[in-house]
Amino acid sequence: MKPSYKKWGRSIIVAASLPFVSFLSTASFAGEAMEIGEIGVESNIAGLERVTQTLVAPPFLPVHEQVVKGAPKIVAMTMKIVEKEMEIAEDVFVQAMTFEGSNPAPMIVVHEGDYVELTLQNPSTNTMVHNIDLHASTGAMGGGMLTTVSPGQEAVLRFHATKSGVFVYHCAPGGTMIPFHVVSGMNGAIMVLPRDGLRDEAGNPVSYDKAYYIGEQDWYVPQDEDGEFKRYASPSEAMGDTFEVMKTLLPTHLTFNGKVGAITGENAMTARVGESVLFIHSQANRDSRVHLIGGHGDLVWRGGSFGDKPATNLQSWSVVGGEAAAALYTFQQPGLYAYVNHNLIEAILLGAAAHVSVEGSWNNDLMEQVVKPGPIK
Ligand code: CU
């Protein structure tokens, strides 16, 4: 049966009416609360301090400590879902679906053992059903089945961050709406730091002077007969055409932080020679390969787990679709660095590139221009 995407109105109807997506289209995804069975273990939060985390737009991270002492905390935050039109490249617009209005969504930062208590709000001005599936959590489709909210609703999820690392989260409202919402921008990441901080490959403590979060997004923007990118009035109006492009698996744009060129020029990441920078890179849907042109990944947590020893001195590192990875680099030379997806077609023709502007003095021992370009002698 060939589905007619254009007939689909609201996501609730889609999830319930298409047999081929039924394996991920339970009633729970259609807005009904999941029935939790017998409880074998009660949560153990009595006496824990409760703090509120203020989320900030990427590439920045919320204020946080790298090493913590004492008991775990309950870290609470509110995340508002925002459906809005976004310009993802010059004169190219999409009906984006976002957490907190940004792509990627804000990074959450907690420590292993903390409890994350997330209030997910879907304002009545929105048109779609949404939820949140956090790869750092355990059970109920990553929390997706407990957080499905229609416009005008909110839900609160608390989960125990038992595994350290960097993890993707994304909307997963059921059936074909899952990829549609993810490639419409609805994804972000959470960093769960070990309580005693990061360690190098030999187990020695390491720290970062600053950290940046780069969220890579693949977009599938429909074009008209003349090749012009189409613009729509709502996510449901864009849906049918967008599915046709999605099924080609060929994104029309790839962005680092929501728009081609978003992290360049005045908005470039910055560092000084001698500073150690942690780059956290997520891709919720599609594989990527990160490369810092002119630099390295001194320590790279491929796959995102801080429970594993980091790889050392990498030139490029993969980020599998559905994961985040972290890389620590201490800058040794000043200048402008390009931080790219090293499929260079994707970087340069589709947009998956950013800049790091580094100040400091040049090290001639590391590199020297012996003869400037000139006529061959
Ligand atoms: Cu959604």
Separation CA 134–CA 173 (nearest Å): 13
How many helices (DSSP H) and strands (DSSP E) are in the chain? 4, 22
Q: What separation in Å is there between the alpha carbon of 171 and the centre of ligand 1?
A: 5
Distance 104 CA to ligand 1 centre (A): 13
Distance 1 CA to ligand 1 centre (A): 26
Q: Is the peptide bond before 104 cis (omega within 30 degrees of 0)?
A: yes
CA of 181 to the centre of ligand 1 (A): 5
Q: How far is CA 126 from CA 93, 95, 118, 232, in A?
A: 18, 12, 19, 15
pLDDT band at 32 (very low <50, low <70, confident <90, very high): low
pLDDT for 37: 78
Element (H, E) at 238: helix 235-246
pLDDT digits over 98-142, tens only? Answer: 999 999 999 999 999 999 999 999 999 999 999 999 999 999 999
Distance 129 CA to ligand 1 centre (A): 6
Q: What is the reported pTM? A: 0.92
How sure is the predictor about 298, in pLDDT bands with cuts at 50, 70 and 90? very high
Reported as type and span, the H/E element at residue 97 is strand 92-99
- What are φ and ψ of residue 328, in 5° steps? -110, 130
CA of 172 to the centre of ligand 1 (A): 6
For ligand 1, the distance from its centroid to the CA atom of residue 348, given in whole angstroms, is 29
Which structure tokens are listed for 133?
């599936």
In sequence order, the 6+-apart residues with CB closer than 8 A to the CB of 27 are 16
Which has the closest alpha carbon to 189: 341, 328, 323? 323
Least confident window among 18-22, 40-44, 273-277? 18-22
Q: Which helix (H) or strand (E) holds 179?
A: helix 177-182
Q: What is the pLDDT of residues 185-244, one digit of tens each?
A: 999 999 999 999 999 999 999 999 999 999 999 999 999 999 999 999 999 999 999 999
* DSSP H/E element including 324: strand 323-330
Mean pLDDT for the stretch of residues 50-78: 98
- Ligand 1 centre to CA of 15 (Å) is 13
What spacing in Å lies between the alpha carbon of 82 and ligand 1's midpoint? 9
Compute the distance from residue 132 Cα to the ligand 1 centre, in Å: 8
- In which band, very low, low, confident or very high, does the pLDDT at 308 lie, cut at 50, 70 and 90? very high
State the distance from the centre of ligand 1 to the C-alpha of 187, rounded, in angstroms: 9
pLDDT at 15 over 90: no
Tens of pLDDT, residue by residue over 311-363, are 999 999 999 999 999 999 999 999 999 999 999 999 999 999 999 999 999 99
Q: Specify whether the CB–CB gap between 298 and 329 falls below 8 A.
A: yes
Going from the Cα of 260 to the center of ligand 1, the distance in angstroms, rounded, reads: 23
CB atoms within 10 A of CB 359: 12
CA of 144 to the centre of ligand 1 (A): 10
Distance 148 CA to ligand 1 centre (A): 9
Domains and CATH numbers, the chain: 1-39 (no CATH), 49-195 (2.60.40.420), 205-359 (2.60.40.420)
Taking CA atoms, 178 is separated from 8, 159, 171, in Å, by 14, 22, 7
pLDDT score recorded for residue 228: 98
Residue 242 CA to ligand 1 centre (angstroms): 15
Distance 237 CA to ligand 1 centre (A): 15
Range in 21-35, 105-119, 133-147, 255-269 with the lowest mean pLDDT: 21-35
Q: What is the spatial distance between Cα 51 and Cα 76, in angstroms, rounded to a whole number?
A: 6
Mean pLDDT of the chain: 92
Please answer whether residues 305 and 312 qualify as being in contact, where contact means their C-beta atoms are separated by less than 8 angstroms.
no
**Across residues 365-370, what is the average pLDDT?**
97
182 CA from centroid of ligand 1 (Å): 7
The Cα–Cα gap between 73 and 270 comes to: 32
Question: Is the model's pLDDT at 310 over the cut of 50?
Answer: yes
CA of 91 to the centre of ligand 1 (A): 24
Tell me the CA–centroid distance for residue 157 and ligand 1, in Å: 16
